[in-house]
Amino acid sequence: MEITLGCKRWSRNRQHGFRIYVPDIQRLGTILMHHPSSNNNWGSFSEFRDQVIAGNYPPAYSRSATISNGKNSINVSATFAHHGRTFQGYITAPINTWLMDYVTSRMDTDMKCEYLVRSDRDFILIPSEANVNSVYVELEKKDKIGKRKVRKLINKKSQGSFPEQKAIEIGLYFEELEFERLKSEFPNSSHQVLHRYPSINSSIRLLNQNNISCDIDITTNAGKVVKCVEVKSISMGEERPFNLTIREWDSRVWCRRHRIPYEIVVYYHFRYQMIRRVVIEVGDKLKRRPSGYFCNLA
């Protein structure tokens, strides 16, 4: 949900951070209604709210959160306290961090930000550019760039057909992002980096014969397989592990047995904004749910 964060200082200028304003605390409260406080003071926000309204001066309710500007991330606490019979909210920027520099450079500025409530750790996306005070301006720009890139790719490879599902569009965007990164890592003077889309099968004979499933193949110009890369994209608004198909799981097992690197690259994102890129190597252990191939690092 959209909230406004104000860059402020308090405690006689000894602390800097964000103020969360009362209307946004009240709106957040409707989402946090049954979520416990991360400091174990409260079983739910509603318990805390009722005590504030009753004027009982209750201890603070807090949420563990990750703040990101799309380039940097940091773990903080979002604290909600009483202020008479109403609320005050704040996030303190740790000293000697990029967030402290960020707040001090924008002092007394209000910004429109995205706050996502999650069961383990909430997520807050703040603007990245110095002269932008709304994260949604940046997100719209990212959306336009991402959609343009996907349309160009699909028109080039699929005779103009366009996926209808937004999740497919975004997934393809992060595949292309990884493809471009790998092309810069493996020069075409010595390697081939092959994005399979729209085909699901490899043009490399060894991989095709053994039914290896991934998104990107990397070989030397002599034809030796260097690496297989499977790309996953997970929205920060969804709380779920990544999914491997049975074919992808078996492909990873085959590659490990034949000493071929099989990387799973997971892009965590909000819309077209990348938040975090995680690489899972072929030797890393995965644990999966018994009901399917929904995986997390073990």
- pLDDT at residue 254, as a whole number: 96
**What is the model's pLDDT at position 243?**
82
Average pLDDT, whole number, for the chain? Answer: 90
What is the spatial distance between Cα 106 and Cα 43, in angstroms, rounded to a whole number?
35
Average pLDDT over residues 253-273: 95
pLDDT digits (tens, 9 = 90+) for 223-248: 999 999 999 999 887 767 788 888 99
What is d(CA 242, CA 295) in angstroms, rounded to the nearest whole number? 5
Helix intervals (H) in the chain = 22-31, 45-53, 98-105, 135-157, 166-185, 205-209, 246-257
CA distance readout (Å), 260 to 170, 183, 257: 28, 19, 8
Residues of the chain with pLDDT > 70, as a percent, come to: 92
Pairing between β-strand 225-235 and β-strand 286-288 as defined by DSSP bridges: unpaired
Q: pLDDT tens digits for 71-119?
A: 999 999 999 999 888 899 999 999 999 999 999 999 999 999 999 999 8
Please provide residue 83's backbone torsions phi and psi, each rounded to the nearest 5 degrees.
-140, 85
Sequence-separated contacts (24+) of 138-146 with Cβ below 8 Å: 138/70, 138/273, 139/114, 139/270, 139/271, 139/272, 139/273, 142/271, 142/272, 142/273, 143/271, 143/272, 145/272, 146/170, 146/173, 146/271, 146/272
Residue range 17-27, pLDDT digits in tens: 999 999 999 99
